[in-house]
Amino acid sequence: MNPIAKTVWALSLLLPLAACAKQEAPAKTMTNEQGCTRIRSIGPQDPYKDPPPLKQACLGPYLLEIPQNYFYNQIGTEHDGSYALALEYPSLEPFKPGERIGLSVDVAVRTVTVKYSYIDRTDLETVMKREYTPMDHQVGDPEESLDTRVKGELKNGLTPYYVDMEKVRAHYLKEGMRENAPVLKTDWHTDWYLGRDGDGKVTTVIKCTPREITEPGVEYRGGKMVKSHGDGLAECDHTIMMADLDTIIRMNYPREGVLHWRKLETRARQLVTDSIVDTRRDAK
């Protein structure tokens, strides 16, 4: 084969590869089912950049712009557009840029994780009701119903519904569980705390490590919450509605945070309202 023919032949092999590379270049934007279009973060990201750049995320039809150090991974949304935010307890401020990279145990235990879910096809109150009402396959399970929990007195705006471990153990032993099964241990379960509005509608559901577990698993050193010696960590999962945005908010944090549940709710809502791009809010 002469030199010119070789060159033509080589180019003919490279052209399809170049075309494929061009076709596979990542899109600079992504649009979700509700029509929100965000600019994607493409290529290597620098979580240590200070001041942190704004990154875009979508909550249903709403476009958000959030400093990247607020994100759980401190670089922005995941490739599919999903995301969670992370705040430092008890300040409820974001972690310093890059502080969550190579996540240490001490940083993890003082993290307040905040997740937002836009509810498109289901009534928000129905979603909330599922948080404290047994599903069909859970009927008869004493930990899944308010009626079979130990109701406490209203305190700090919340009504406690403590897990009744005598009923729980009897239930699972009757189901054939062995005596040393993990599900028969107290730390396998949660105490519930419900907040209601003036009409009695449940607006807050908090599920925490039971009161019988007195060791919180954390302590303070130099003004910072860190992991204490020993196993386990007392924590809470907290669910609320943000009706004006058709959104369910779910948080996770150290158990002592339940004392400041109102502050946590206010902060979680504020993160969204302060981040919505005005043009998208007006388009709703």
Lowest-confidence pick of 41-45, 146-150, 200-204, 256-260: 41-45
pLDDT band at 280 (very low <50, low <70, confident <90, very high): very low
pLDDT band at 6 (very low <50, low <70, confident <90, very high): low
Q: What is the largest CA-CA distance in the chain?
A: 93
The predicted-structure confidence for 150-197, as pLDDT tens digits, reads as follows: 999 999 999 999 999 999 999 999 989 898 899 999 999 999 999 999
User: What is the full DSSP assignment across 61-126?
Assistant: TEEEEEEGGGBTTSS---TTS---EEEETTTTEEPPTTTTTT--HHHHHTEEEEEEEE-SSS-HHH
pLDDT band at 284 (very low <50, low <70, confident <90, very high): very low
User: Which range in 12-16, 25-29, 224-228 is most confidently predicted, on average pLDDT?
Assistant: 224-228
For the chain, the domains span 40-283
Residue 62 φ/ψ, nearest 5 degrees:
-95, 130
The predicted-structure confidence for 126-151, as pLDDT tens digits, reads as follows: 999 999 999 988 888 999 999 999 99
pLDDT band at 2 (very low <50, low <70, confident <90, very high): low
pLDDT of residue 282: 47
Residue 202 has pLDDT above 90, yes or no: yes
pLDDT band at 281 (very low <50, low <70, confident <90, very high): very low
C-alpha–C-alpha distance, residues 13 and 8, integer Å: 9
Do 68 and 75 contact (CB within 8 A), yes or no? Answer: yes
Residue 69 has pLDDT above 70, yes or no: yes
C-alpha–C-alpha distance, residues 134 and 131, integer Å: 8
Given the structure tokens 């897990």, which residue do they identify? 163
User: What stretches of 26-179 show up as alpha helix (H) in DSSP?
Assistant: 105-109, 124-130, 165-174
Do 254 and 91 contact (CB within 8 A), yes or no? Answer: no
- The pTM (predicted TM-score) of the whole model is 0.88
pLDDT of residue 41: 86
C-alpha–C-alpha distance, residues 61 and 36, integer Å: 5
Distances (CA, A) of 15 to 4, 5, 21, 25, 155: 17, 16, 10, 16, 72
Number of Cβ within 10 Å of residue 139's Cβ equals 10
Do 234 and 208 contact (CB within 8 A), yes or no? Answer: yes
